[in-house]
Amino acid sequence: MKLLHGLGLGLLAVASTLARAGEPIPVNIEQTLMVVVHDNVAPRQRDSWTSPRLERDRYLEMETAIEQAMKAAGYTGPVKVQQSAANLPDVAQTLHLYVYRWEKGLETFGSSFSAEFSMEAVLDVEGREYDLGSFSARESHTALGGHHAEDYRPAARRAIDQMIEFYRNAIATSQAKK
């Protein structure tokens, strides 16, 4: 929840920056923000997590990471998280998260587990697209009893937190210039 509140405020800061260039982002944090997760992960040999059959599991872990980040941020606005598909509901504000890399890291051996994650964020507001940037993260921990889907979530959460922090810094910079 804090993610999207921070993102909404961050987008307002980006809008004020773009306003100087004549291109404000008309974000309304009171309206529903749909977050659409696009799974563009390429299958890797010896990493079942990247296989097409686990796309739904990746989506569910991403959805949980987004929800945790929003809750940690204290966001209470209306948000819908959807998996990329046909017939998505029509809303004025959509945040597209394109996941390109979400796999076991090279450091994974025995009970030591690492995951690598990369995504791109694009905001669509009333038919206009705004490229918000790319975010990557790596996370390592001990995974006793084998690797499970939830072992990949912290890397996604870390990238989402980076996105929030990036926009919070943009807000602070924007407000300091006023």
Task: Give the model's pLDDT for residue 46.
Answer: 85
SS3 39: strand
Q: What's the pLDDT score for residue 116?
A: 95
Mean pLDDT by 10 residues, the chain (178 residues): 48 40 58 90 91 94 90 77 85 91 90 94 86 91 85 93 73 53
Q: Which two tokens stand for residue 5?
A: 């509140």
Give the span between the Cα atoms of 110 and 107, in whole angstroms: 10
H or E element in which residue 73 lies: helix 55-73
Domain assignment of residue 34, given as a range: 2-177
| pLDDT at site 20 | 37
How many domains, the chain?
Answer: 1
The answer to whether residues 135 and 119 touch, using CB atoms and an 8 Å cutoff, is yes
Bridging pattern class, strands 79-83 and 128-142: unpaired
Q: Give residue 117's pLDDT.
A: 95
Whole-angstrom Cα distance, residue 155 to residue 97?
Answer: 15
**136 is written with which tokens?**
């990557």
What are the distances in angstroms from CA 150 to CA 23, 65, 74, 122, 141? 40, 10, 23, 25, 12
Q: What CATH number has the domain bearing residue 105?
A: 3.40.50
Three-state DSSP state, 129:
strand
pTM above 0.75, yes or no: yes
